[in-house]
Amino acid sequence: MIKGIIFDFDGLILDTETHHYRILQEMFAEYGSELPIERWQQEIGTQTGFSPFHYLEELIEQEIEHKELQERLKEKFHVKLMEEKARDGVEDYLKAAKELGLKIGLASSSNYEWVSKYLKNLGLFDYFECIRTSDDVEKVKPDPALYIKAAECLGLRPEECVAFEDSANGAMAAKRAGMGCVIVPNEVTHTMNFCEVEHRLSSMADMPFDELIDYLNGLKVSK
């Protein structure tokens, strides 16, 4: 039986990934270039050290002012995210999980400062009993460490948890940890090739949480 849920953050709770991509596209367009969605998808849900502005330099074959562009990106991104609401159905799922007595955790490849700041701005921070981020592990997703540590923090075995993810790297991390996984892709991740997961939703608003949990528990029983 499922005793806990563990949410990803970026792209799942707050659609940071779509906004990040759109802002970068606007900046690339200023140089008559574009950032291919397939290239950006490689960076979603993990950390590879990819620099979009170094990539832009390669595309246009000229040097650009990285520091200025990075500051502009940071400011535009922050302003947009502070205005943004959580994705549809997210808070309903968190409320329902709490009402059902499930433990609620979060596992993110971003750092704690980033995650906590925007969770607080959304008014969702207090739903989470445990938050594990890149500050807590040597390797982020698709390595399973974040999900394993989040489950341990909740006092649960991985198989007693279900992860909610929006990216291929995140889903792979959850499955490698031994968890069930529900994917809720966003605008920039819906075309990704995902590993085999228990269920896919276009939005958490599409299916009541209790129905989803009943369905997932049914899968466990039938195995």
Q: Are 132 and 4 in contact (CB under 8 A)?
A: no
Catalytic one among 8, 15, 143, 166?
8
Residue 103, CA distances (Å) to 27, 97, 125, 186, 197 in order:
41, 8, 14, 25, 21
Q: DSSP states of 158-188 as a string? A: GGGEEEEESSHHHHHHHHHTT-EEEE---TT
- From CA 66, how far away is CA 52, in angstroms rounded? 10
- From CA 6, how far away is CA 146, in angstroms rounded? 10
Backbone Cα Rg of the chain: 18
10: annotated active-site residue: yes
Active site residues: 8, 10
